[in-house]
Amino acid sequence: MTRHAPFTPHTRSAGILAIVRAPFLDHPQPIAFAHRGGAAHAPENSWTAFEHAIKLGYAYLETDARATSDGKLVAFHDRRLDRVTDASGPNECAALP
């Protein structure tokens, strides 16, 4: 018996998404995730936000990993820098100082 909805392909994401079986997520009730580390209490995707979420008792953190133009991996939700920084443009074009 599958508890999760079946994967539905989408033309914009063809070849990108796949079904990933994760038995540790197969629970009879919802699982609480700290979205972006709990961005309501600290800057999103920051170490401070992650630590705060853990202190609140979250066992799972949700974040997004993106690469910058100089090959550094960063925890950053948006595809563009505009919303949470004083820079603009796509974040893959940015380089870390």
55 — pLDDT class (breaks 50, 70, 90): very high
Percent of the chain having pLDDT more than 90? 2
Q: Is 35 a catalytic residue?
A: yes
Higher pLDDT, 93 or 27: 27
C-alpha span between 24 and 31 (Å, rounded): 10
Task: Note the pLDDT tens digit of each residue in 5-38.
Answer: 554 555 555 555 566 777 777 778 888 888 887 7
pTM of the model: 0.58
Q: Which of 32, 37, 61 is nearest to 49 (CA)?
A: 37
Q: Is 10 a catalytic residue?
A: no
Catalytic site residue from 4, 27, 35, 52: 35
Q: Which of 54, 38, 57 is nearest to 46 (CA)?
A: 38
